[in-house]
Amino acid sequence: MKAERLREKFLEYFKAKKHKVVESDLLAPKDDPTVLFTPAGMNQFKRQFLGYLTGYSRAASCQRCLRTDDLDKVGKTIGHHTFFEMLGNFSFGDYFKEEAIAYAWEFLTKELKIPKERLWVSVYKDDDEAYKIWKDKIKLPQDKIVKLGDKENFWPSEAKQKGPNGPCGPCSEIFFDQLEVWNLVFTQFNRKEGGALEPLPKKNIDTGMGLERLAAVMQGVGSNFETDLFQPIIKEILAYSAGGANKEALYAIADHIRAATFAVYDGVLPSNEGRGYVIRKLIRKSVLHLRQPLGIKKPFLHKLVPIVTDIMKGAYPELLSRRENIAQLILAEENNFINTLESSGPLFEDKFKELSKKHDPEKAGLIAFELYDTYGIPLELTKDWAAKNRMPLSEERFNRELDGQKSRSKSQSAMKGDVFDMKELHLAGAKTTFLGYGKYETRAKITKIVKDRVPVKKISKGEEAAIILDKSVFYPESGGQVGDTGELVKGKNIFRVKDTQKFDKVIVHKGVVAEGSFKTSDELKAAVDIERRLSIARNHTATHLLQAALRKILGAHVRQQGSLVAEDRLRFDFTHFKDIAGDELARIEKEVNDYIINNNPLKSKNMKLQEAKKAGALAFFGEKYDERVRMVAVGGLSRELCGGTHLESTGQIGLFKIISEGSIASGVRRIEAVTGRGAYKKVKEEEGILDEACAILNVPAEKLTQELIRKLAQVKELEKKLSSQSLGAVRDSLDNIISKAQNVKDIKVITMATENMDMDLLRKTMDLIKSKTGNAVIALGSVIDKRVLLVMGVTKDLLDKGLDASILIREVAKPIGGSGGGRKDFAQAGGNDPGKLEEAFSKLTDIINNTR
């Protein structure tokens, strides 16, 4: 049975058992700071486990998960993965052990028709209730029921002794032969400080079954990697491999490309920190596996994205529309890493320069780890370079650092604090009705006041607090839009709202009592700062217009990756895989302003998610949407899923002005812009600069460019004359320069320090010296504006003796704080320490003295 059908069958079965089928959460959950990635199916149901019932008390899901605890085992075992899908059914104070066990047994033995004799179970050693259900209700032979301890059959593992505090309980696992298939967790206790377990008033069920393992069982194969979830990927790699079928490498790559594909799908981009660092690491590990042992040295990993998409499109149809973006992002990351690997020589020289004279194996081992950790440079490559340069390196120190990094990684990806630790738990069950789309003020009632995370009944002048109302016009920070500010007013009593946040369905107004006092149940007027709200709305509506313009001019591959909509500016991050030319940026700005001038109307509509998608509404990368969404349409230009506040028509924006554009990550660019009064202010500032330039050059604005061209031509002519005069002076002093050469082991070492000679003049001087002498190594340095320019030359007769200017300059440039490169006969460098130029020349003499 194919994995896609297994996924469907599981959800269909539990839907028939009156479970709400809930869409998978994102790999990077938005509202859960306790995890780096979603590690299990239960994570998105934390609120329900705490009593936040949302219309259903039983649920089922197929959750995409990502774990890195066992990264080194991936590919080496038949069942370890970073990315996997977890099938799960959940009960929030509804059914308990007997039903959970019965459902699991019925699904496996009747729906999937797995032979009963191939299954056996484990239970917690003290859980007599579960043991009896399996023995008496399910009629499983006693020799098929194994009792295990706190580490194996209590969740969280060893929680009784080690914590964390919070809901916990025994579990029962179902095995097919020796393979663990399904874990049923019976959450029935609350662990308190000191390890005391008290019964929960409402008991919960949390189960998890890996789709990959179930597929292996149902497809009769001995490894998850032999299932239809992995085999097309592996076959594609083999078709290009020049290094044979190395199972470890094939399995690891097949796993990692699934993880990278879905991470990018969920908005996690490769970077140097947090979640992005994990994805960058997986991509780089895959590139190394492809190079050795599989012999694929050109960018290839991105070619596997369409294969992953084809396998998974049934459950994740949006992968099809995003696969090119995902592939391009992974390609950009591959290219960066391959370039790093192929140009690692200068990187090694820079990182190990302090050890070039004083060897320190421990320090070298640490640097080797830093190269691995930051750049992905494998240890073997660093060891090879160190050996060629006769630099001892402690592999033991490298391994110690690596072990420490693994421990840190585990602590980052594991839950932090109490298992169900959530902010503002006293808000459970509360709800604020939002009226801010059509109003700027409303009458409302205080339902709660929170000060220092503790509910209070009253607050007075000067006290900072958070106020919750039964209804509000204040927009809470969400989807990149900042929260509203304003006032809550009750007669002469004033509460200044400095920020508005949202927790679940509660709008939280954070601020300070400016006058009087407030208490729970007070009725008041809630009013947002209208001018600020309109400024934010201008920027938000302009963001939608910007995305429409980008897609029209750059292409439909453009997708929003992130945004900030504030009062004074907007910031828009989007996928694009090359630089944006100046004329393209001008066209984008003009396109947005054309939309504004056309005064297109804005309309919003609440509808089902699938209806909105069919209507062509764009969704934001890395966002999970409810079943009902709000679609904002701007004329026929733009349709987006958006919960933010907007204008009534595009003309209200007034003016749109781009202030910056650039790359922020591989395949991701950022535009910052201003609108309305901010845009007008920016235009006036630029007019002021233009007027000042015109005044300095004493020309009208329309002739400024012509005058600048004329002045630049004059400057170039003067520079040419100066250079010619300087070169003439050099010619006149050539004999004097050569006569000052040092004789070092029968080699002339010619050095000269000067000022204000540019690189072109230094090159010409080098050529003149070479034309008048032989058997020489020449170093010329010039200081310009506190920077040092350095050129190195070797005459032709010394090249055959092994002297190489490109190698010499790397060492000689170190004292001036620089590095360089070039050919064997000529090389150049730059530095930032003019005071060390003579020291650099001395280093050249030392090198030659020690060379022969």
Helix axes 530-553, 676-697, angle to 10 degrees: 70
As a residue count, the chain comes to 852
425 — pLDDT class (breaks 50, 70, 90): very low
**50 or 231: whose pLDDT is higher?**
231
The residues that bridge with 606 in the sheet, in sequence order, are 630
Q: Residue 418 — pLDDT band, cuts 50, 70, 90?
A: very low
pTM, full prediction:
0.79
681 or 504: which leads in pLDDT: 681
User: Is the pLDDT reported for residue 829 higher than 80?
Assistant: yes
Stretch 749-776: mean pLDDT, rounded? 90
Q: Report domain 425-528's class.
A: mainly beta
Quick: pLDDT tens for 567-581. Answer: 999 999 999 989 999
- Mean pLDDT of all residues in 234-262: 93
- Confidence band for 721, pLDDT divided at 50, 70 and 90: confident
The dihedral through the CA atoms of 323, 326, 329, 333 has a sign that is negative
| pLDDT value, residue 33 | 75
pLDDT in tens, 433-486: 999 998 999 999 999 999 988 899 999 999 999 999 999 999 999 989 999 999
135 DSSP assignment: I
CA 741 and chain centroid, separation: 56
Task: Read off the DSSP letter of residue 185.
Answer: E
Q: Give the model confidence (pLDDT) of 667-679 as tens digits.
A: 899 999 999 999 9
Q: 326 or 851: whose pLDDT is higher?
A: 326
For residue 284, pLDDT beyond 70: yes
pLDDT band at 95 (very low <50, low <70, confident <90, very high): very high
pLDDT score recorded for residue 48: 83
How far is residue 398 from each of residues 156, 273, 289, 356, measured CA to CA in Å?
Answer: 32, 21, 20, 19
What stretches of 661-804 show up as alpha helix (H) in DSSP?
Answer: 676-697, 704-732, 734-739, 759-772, 796-799
Most confident of 65-69, 339-343, 584-588, 783-787: 584-588
Q: Is residue 37 within 8 Å of residue 278, measured between CB atoms?
A: yes
Q: Give the β-pairing of 560-565 and 523-528.
A: unpaired
**Token pair in block for residue 60:** 């089922």
Whole-number Å distance between alpha carbons of 102 and 85:
23
Q: How far is 121 from 182, CA to CA, in rounded Å?
A: 9
Q: What is the pLDDT of residues 490-549, one digit of tens each?
A: 999 999 999 999 987 899 999 999 999 999 999 999 999 999 999 999 999 999 999 999
Topology (CATH) of 736-851: Diaminopimelate Epimerase; Chain A, domain 1 (3.10.310)
Phi-psi region of 486 (alpha: psi -120 to 50; beta: other; left: phi over 0): left
Is pLDDT at 421 greater than 70 in this prediction? no
**Using CA atoms, how far apart are residues 819 and 823, in angstroms rounded to an integer?**
14
Report DSSP letters for 696-733, one per residue: HHT--GGGHHHHHHHHHHHHHHHHHHHHHHHHHHHHHT
CB atoms within 10 A of CB 17: 16
> What is the mean predicted confidence (pLDDT) over 261-272?
91
pLDDT for position 852: 55
Distance CA 52, CA 66 (A): 26
pLDDT-based confidence at residue 424 (cuts at 50, 70, 90): very low
For domain 3-223, the CATH architecture is: 2-Layer Sandwich (3.30)
Report the top-level CATH class of 533-684: alpha beta
Domain boundaries along the sequence of the chain: 3-223, 230-342, 343-420, 425-528, 533-684, 736-851
Chain segment 799-824, per-residue pLDDT in tens: 888 888 988 998 899 899 887 888 99
Residue 728 clears pLDDT 90, i.e. is over it:
no
Residue with tokens 């700071």: 33
* HSE toward the beta carbon, residue 148, CA cutoff 13 A: 19
> Token pair for residue 483?
């929260």
pLDDT (tens digit per residue) in 590-619: 999 999 999 999 999 999 998 998 898 988
Which secondary-structure segment (H or E) carries 22?
Answer: none
* Mean pLDDT within 759-781: 91
Tell me: pLDDT of 419 over 60.
no
More confident position, 747 or 165? 747
pLDDT attached to residue 430: 73
CB 173 within 8 A of CB 144: no
Model confidence at 178: pLDDT above 90: no
* Dist. CA 72–CA 252, nearest whole Å: 9
Mean pLDDT score, 322-335: 93
Residue 415 CA: distances (Å) to CA of 198, 334, 411, 433, 457: 22, 31, 8, 32, 34
302 or 195, higher pLDDT? 302
